[in-house]
Amino acid sequence: MDKILRIDVGVSGGPSFQTDSLASYAGLGGRAMTSAIVAKEVPPLCHPLGEDNKLVIAPGILSGSVAAMSGRLSVGCKSPLTGGIKEANAGGQAAQVLARLGYAAIVLEGKPADDTLYKVLINKDGVKIIPANDLKMLGNYDLIDKMKAEYGDKVACISIGPAGEMKMAAASVAITDMEMRPTRHAGRGGVGAVMGSKNIKIIVLDDAGMAMRSPANVEKFKEANKNFVQGLKKHPVTGQGLPTYGTNVLTNVINEAGGFPTFNFKQGRFDGAAKIGGEAQAELEISRGANPTHGCHKGCVIRCSGTYHDKDGHYLTKQPEYETVWAHGANCAIEDLDTIAMLDRLDDDYGLDTIEMGATIGVAMEAGIAKFGDAEAAINLVKEVGKGTTLGRILGNGAGITGKVFGVERVPVVKNQAMPAYDPRAVQGMGVTYATTTQGADHTAGYAVTANILGVGGSVNALKPEGQVDLSRNLQIATAAIDATGMCLFIAFAILDQPDTFQSLVDMVGAFTGKETTADDVTALGKQILTWERDFNARAGFTNKDDRLPEYFKKEKLAPHNVVFEVSDDELDQVYNW
Amino acid sequence: MDKILRIDVGVSGGPSFQTDSLASYAGLGGRAMTSAIVAKEVPPLCHPLGEDNKLVIAPGILSGSVAAMSGRLSVGCKSPLTGGIKEANAGGQAAQVLARLGYAAIVLEGKPADDTLYKVLINKDGVKIIPANDLKMLGNYDLIDKMKAEYGDKVACISIGPAGEMKMAAASVAITDMEMRPTRHAGRGGVGAVMGSKNIKIIVLDDAGMAMRSPANVEKFKEANKNFVQGLKKHPVTGQGLPTYGTNVLTNVINEAGGFPTFNFKQGRFDGAAKIGGEAQAELEISRGANPTHGCHKGCVIRCSGTYHDKDGHYLTKQPEYETVWAHGANCAIEDLDTIAMLDRLDDDYGLDTIEMGATIGVAMEAGIAKFGDAEAAINLVKEVGKGTTLGRILGNGAGITGKVFGVERVPVVKNQAMPAYDPRAVQGMGVTYATTTQGADHTAGYAVTANILGVGGSVNALKPEGQVDLSRNLQIATAAIDATGMCLFIAFAILDQPDTFQSLVDMVGAFTGKETTADDVTALGKQILTWERDFNARAGFTNKDDRLPEYFKKEKLAPHNVVFEVSDDELDQVYNW
């Protein structure tokens, strides 16, 4: 991981590439790498789909090593959805393979000279960029099947579906999983549209002949990794809850807490929650021969990803995540797991963020385009997006645009990005994160559900404003650092609760890089990343007025607790005051 | 004009009203009144279509008097298009009639309890608010015909068409002219959507039994007005060009100057310009028995408005304005006056801003929705808007949304409002105004075409950055003050060139109000208005990053002069530094 691959798509006659040394980016990985490059190289006022934007793809610091859980790939750019800086990350195999191929980042830059679509092949022999108009408008599943036929099933792929080609602001970048299925998505903020704007359909990564990345201090690293894995296995969330039920273990928990947004954020509990929760889902999966306990990349020990089969026992999609079950389920008052799974499959195939799509359909239902609870209508709406019909183009550009086009007032977005599956009135720490993160409404940026609901890393009353700013600030800093390591964010449950597990992670980074590393270094890295991102956003025109929830969250009471969002603007302005 | 009518539409059982004293708003008119009320009373972060926004309708300080040219009506709110403060103004009869009825402002506030539509009748006996669901989705022409049948042809009306009811961000507020046709529009920024969000279809104003407003010093006023009118008549623009050809006198001038945006701002000259210019238009109008020399309100001495007849000699629409001829003509490469007139008629009937619609169709053509030059397609697209089809809803929300939905990069907007008919590269002073005005791209906010092209009020090289900031600043200040008087902005040509005509205006204001008034007072008023507006926008989250043109105007050279916009960001930041 000592070089950066830069692909200039703006050369007439087709893209050219060069391999750069890391220079000032040395030592960075994941979100630290993507945000550093975007902040330094992308003009903040450029058009997100224009020649000056760059798509940066970076494995984490530990990716490609034997470190457990180190398979996250960061994808960064100026976001077509928010207009600010964006880092979306995903699991799957690509981070490991890319790291082993020696690349700390791939940067797609420039503006295509014509509309030829390309695929990029990277292996031990180097880089090939090949015209691939035969791949135009293929869904991710068909696309990956073609790659499998051509390159075998040991490669890893980074691709876009039709939504990315159509430059929709809800378009994701898909990453293949261990079975080479396009199920892991850097979903948020329209990173797929930026890849589409560069006319790159797919990057195929083949690490045959390459070695595992080796740590500076092998023994110390091995020991730290062992302790780290033990820590993950002993924590109830990472050792039991997530493996058994997947992320959807949260549905009944958040619903019980009254923070499960239903009917487009109208109420905090959904009558049909139990029907779509993780317990019901795992049972159904098992009964159909699918597997609820499965990793999305090699080296995963939490194994929350799973598979979902249709009624006939055939693979339909990955096990839908909690956020997806909420977005396509409760938020649209849909209580049928097969519908949700079909929507998940369609989103993955078209290359769409399930959170943005579910929130968008909720807004469309509020606008009267379809009825809440109408499962068939929801499926048809997502199909419109995949086909790129006029309605589909609206929806494919997200909840904010959909709200504007149809004159809807209740649109749950911050910085134009749709809120995920926690109502900020009933989980006020999440509200602080939604409001203030550089990313637009994003649960992963500072997952206050930990202390607000799960009693992980302390306890802060979810319904009150007190303590939420400190909670969110600390989580945002820690998260940014974790997102730089390549580690799955779910390790946070264990490291927040278990100081020795946190120390194992710090030791692992130190042993790998060979540089003495302390907890303070981790904090400093997190702050550095957030500072780069905040600075980019400020130069793009963001102010504290963008760090606000839509007004109705302060006015409309949310049942069953009948609460509004109570963290004051002045308090929100203190999140980045460290 | 000693009271404010406030209509609260949020009362269950239907809107209620109260009449307030002017209190701190005493002495204000027009844009000063609308911007003062919006800045003071509307929370800057509220949803533009929600309960906290207010629609403020205000005649000018001199409206309702015998002062020539004093028929402008200001309409203000937080804009659904820009998200910032908005003042759109229009001629027609309503300002005069409203002023004579004694109202310095009408304020629509609150959020309707249900979807009942209302009409408001204001006459010497007071105010009536009447359910009027029979008017739902009527075009402005049919609507006004109904009012004529009910209230006679001496009333003045302020109304919205279907676009306003559908809360589209390009929706205008229509004002009837002297012949009681809905041809004068407060067009920009979606003020019609805000009226629609209050469920008020129309305000009928009847000043029967009311007297002309009388000045404090009758003799001084009469004398000043006489001199003022003489000044207007002797200036070549207000005395000859505008009366003879209407505003469309500009087409050949701006085209010759290379600043006539063609093919969605791709080039600065249009081959078909002569076919759609004012000379050809006036000749055609006269040949069909229409009249190119006609005032839009009583007391107008410039008479630029005119009428346009179809091939059979029947009234089709008002004489299309220069901005409309450009927007629906050159910008879409359409060179047929009858098509442009039909589009003007449709826009007026649906209640749409012709500038925003023309720019939007240009973007749609760039997206491949229709071909440049396809007149029939352009008409069909506007009809889609009127019908509220899915495509129509996109287009009806303006160029910015349309660009986002269809992934278009070249979208000529500032603060999400479409640029009017002067390419900022070839008329760089206009570029400064587009970039920096509080209103979003708006030619009327600081009409630098004067010194850049027409040699009015001095001369500044249109193709160079030097001097543009001073020019735009001074014009923006003067314009804000003029917009407060109720005076038509076209008086600016004469008052910029003729110090004695300017003095007559100052004298007229002083004689009317009875307060000594100097040129410095006019400047101070302009600065005060701009300060209120800038402050509102800052509180809504605007920064100097919003005071920029889209990047491509700094990169793409504009033929025939092969120029880019060269005023630097640092210079733009000096516009409000006075």
Residue B291 has what pLDDT?
Answer: 92
Whether A401 has its CB under 8 Å from any CB of chain B: the answer is yes
pLDDT band at A325 (very low <50, low <70, confident <90, very high): very high
**Rounded to an integer, what distance in angstroms lies between the CA atom of residue A6 and that of residue A25?**
14
B45 interfaces chain A, CB cutoff of 8 Å: yes
**Which residue is it, tokens 């995949």?**
A386
DSSP one-letter string for A57-109: EEE-TTTTSS-TT---EEEEEE-TTTSSEEEEEE-SSHHHHHHHTTEEEEEEE
β-bridge mates for residue A161, sequence order: none
Query: How far does the CA of residue B402 sit from the closest CA of chain A (Å)?
Result: 9
Closest of B46, B398, B541 to residue A409, by C-alpha: B46
Task: Answer yes or no: is pLDDT of B12 > 90.
Answer: no
Q: Of A202, A187, A164, A184, nearest to A388 (Cα)?
A: A164
pLDDT per residue as tens digits for the range A429-453: 999 999 999 999 999 999 999 999 9
Please count the other Cβ atoms lying within 10 Å of the Cβ belonging to residue B380.
Answer: 12
Which two tokens mark A15?
A: 């893209």
Q: Could you give the dihedral angle defined by the CA atoms of residues A243, A244, A249 and A253, in that order, rounded to the nearest 10 degrees? A: -110
- Which pLDDT band, with edges at 50, 70 and 90, does B1 fall under? confident
pLDDT at A574: 98
A548 contacts on B by Cβ (under 8 Å): 45
- Whether A1 shows a pLDDT value over 90: the answer reads no
Q: Is B569 in the A-facing interface, judged by CB distances under 8 Å?
A: no
The answer to whether the CB of B481 falls within 8 A of the CB of B30 is: no
Scan for tokens 């040219």, then name that residue: B69
Two tokens, residue A402: 């959909």
Mean pLDDT of chain A: 97
Q: Is A577 on the interface with B (CB under 8 A)?
A: no
pLDDT of residue B334: 98
pLDDT band at A412 (very low <50, low <70, confident <90, very high): very high
Q: Which of B552, B479, B557, B553 is nearest to B522 (CA)?
A: B479
When pLDDT is cut at 50, 70 and 90, the band that residue A308 belongs to is very high
pLDDT for B316-334, tens place per residue? 999 999 999 999 999 999 9
The reply to whether B534 touches chain A by the CB within 8 Å rule is no
| Tens-digit pLDDT profile for residues B18-42 | 999 999 999 999 999 999 999 999 9
Number of A/B CB contacts below 8 angstroms equals 82
Kindly tell me if the per-residue pLDDT of A189 is higher than 90.
yes
Cβ pair B172, B192 in contact under 8 A: yes
Band of pLDDT at residue B13, cut at 50, 70 and 90 = confident
Task: Confirm if A68 and A228 have CB atoms less than 8 A apart.
Answer: yes
Phi (first) and psi of residue B459, to 5 degrees: -145, 125
pLDDT single digits (tens) B406-448 = 999 999 999 999 999 999 999 999 999 999 999 999 999 999 9
* Dihedral in degrees, nearest 10, Cα atoms A23, A25, A29, A33: -140
Domains along chain A? 3-205 (3.60.9.10), 215-245+424-578 (1.10.599.10), 256-422 (1.10.569.10)
Candidates B53, B404, B547: best to mutate against A (most CBs of A within 10 A) is B404
CB-count exposure of residue B543 (10 Å: 0-12, 13-18, 19+): middle
Instruction: List CB contacts (< 8 A) between B390 and chain A.
Output: 390-391, 394
B166, B545, B551 ranked by CB distance to A541: nearest: B545
A115 reaches B (C-beta below 8 A): no
The answer to whether A357 touches A311, Cβ cutoff 8 Å, is no
Contact A409 B52 (CB under 8 A): no
Q: Which residues of A touch B401 (CB under 8 A)?
A: 401, 404-405
Report ipTM (2 d.p.).
0.94
Interface contact A415, partner B, CB < 8 A: no
Task: State mean pLDDT over A85-100.
Answer: 98
Chain segment B240-252, per-residue pLDDT in tens: 999 999 999 999 9
pLDDT (tens digit per residue) in B337-350: 999 999 999 999 99
> In the predicted model, is pLDDT for residue A186 greater than 90?
yes
What is d(CA B558, CA A359) in angstroms, rounded to the nearest whole number?
42
Chain A positions touching B407 (Cβ under 8 A) are 49, 166-168, 193, 197
pLDDT for B153 beyond 90: yes
Q: Reply yes or no on whether the pLDDT at A13 is more than 90.
A: no
Q: Which residues of B touch A168 (CB under 8 A)?
A: 407
Q: What is the pLDDT of residue B311?
A: 97
What is the C-alpha separation between A512 and A510, in angstroms, rounded? 5
Q: Which of B401, B409, B551 sits opposite A45 (nearest CB)?
A: B551
Q: A55-90, pLDDT tens digit by residue?
A: 999 999 999 999 999 999 999 999 999 999 999 999
Interchain contact, B394 vs A394, CB within 8 Å: yes
B152 Cβ neighbours under 8 A, 6+ residues apart: none
Query: Which of A44, A401, A541 comes nearest B546 by C-beta?
Result: A541
| Overall size of chain A counted in residues | 578
pLDDT in tens, B550-560: 999 999 999 99
* Digit-coded pLDDT (tens) for B457-483: 999 999 999 999 999 999 999 999 999
pLDDT of amino acid A12: 86
In tens, the pLDDT along B159-178 reads 999 999 999 999 999 999 99
pLDDT of residue A375: 98
* Percentage, residues of chain B above pLDDT 70: 100
A122 DSSP β-pair partners: A127, A205
Return the residue in A52, A195, A390 with the most chain B beta carbons within 10 A, the one to mutate for interface testing.
A390
Tens digit of pLDDT for each residue in B48-86? 999 999 999 999 999 999 999 999 999 999 999 999 999
Q: Determine the Cα–Cα distance for residues B234 and B494; give it in Å rounded to an integer.
A: 8
Per residue in A474-509, pLDDT (tens digit) is: 999 999 999 999 999 999 999 999 999 999 999 999
Q: Is B42 on the interface with A (CB under 8 A)?
A: no
Q: Do B543 and A539 touch (CB under 8 A)?
A: no
Q: Is A167 on the interface with B (CB under 8 A)?
A: yes
Query: How far A231 CA sits from the closest chain B CA (Å)?
Result: 45
Picking from A438, A523, A480, the residue whose alpha carbon sits closest to that of residue A29 is A480
Q: Provide the shortest C-alpha distance from residue A541 to chain B (in Å).
A: 5
Q: How far apart are CA B246 and CA B533, in angstroms?
A: 31
> Rounded to a whole number, what is the distance in Å from the CA of A110 to chain B's nearest CA?
14
